[in-house]
């Protein structure tokens, strides 16, 4: 079995969240947080346009919702599943929330901070380093973003 196989269903849920962001003109990025047992505890999508919030990235929205649901800011044992490689803000939020794992779809060569441009989550100077699983349903995630930006041009 492929190492990305267990993440297919959660990534499909994140892609559904990403598609929902299209309704508000937001960049279609979606995220899901799973607890240690693999149960979905929160979702999020980009809401920067919808809410006029520069921190309204899918990952931040999902991490905040997970903390509310679990009643704890420390998300030990949780997995953040997101359609696009997190930026520096979102990678930092994942580290600070203590998620155990980050699973992402498409790589972000322009702003990715989980290995592409920077590698915030593996920086040995930080006190927490989550496991990373990259490239899960990357083709689907990339196509959704490409279609969005092609329509804007």
78 is known to lie in a ligand binding site: no
Which residue out of 59, 85, 131, 140 is catalytically annotated? 59
- Number of Cβ within a 10 Å radius of residue 153: 4
Would you call 59 a catalytic residue per the annotation? yes
87 is in an annotated binding site: yes
Exposure letters 10-20 (e unless 16+ CB within 10 A, then b) = bbebbbebbee
List the one residue out of 49, 47, 37, 46 whose CA is nearest residue 10. Answer: 37
Of residues 57, 64, 61, 55, the one with CA closest to residue 26: 57
Summarize the annotated binding site as residue ranges.
Answer: 57, 87, 90
Summarize the annotated binding site for Zn(2+) as residue ranges.
Answer: 57, 87, 90
Looking at the annotation, which residues are catalytic?
Answer: 59
């Amino acid at each position: 079995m492929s190492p990305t196989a267990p993440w297919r269903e959660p990534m499909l849920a994140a892609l559904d969240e990403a598609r929902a962001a299209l309704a508000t003109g937001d960049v279609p990025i979606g995220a899901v947080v799973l607890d240690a047992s693999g149960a979905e505890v929160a979702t999020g999508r980009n809401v920067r346009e919808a809410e006029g919030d520069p921190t309204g990235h899918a990952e931040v929205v999902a991490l905040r919702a997970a903390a509310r649901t679990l009643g704890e800011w420390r998300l030990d044992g949780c997995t953040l599943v997101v359609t696009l490689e997190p930026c520096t803000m979102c990678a930092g939020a994942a580290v600070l929330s203590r998620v155990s794992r980050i699973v992402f779809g498409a790589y972000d060569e322009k702003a990715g901070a989980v290995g592409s441009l920077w590698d915030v989550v593996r920086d040995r100077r930080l006190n927490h380093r989550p496991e990373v699983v990259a490239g899960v349903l990357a083709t689907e995630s990339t196509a959704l973003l490409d279609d969005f930006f092609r329509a804007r041009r």
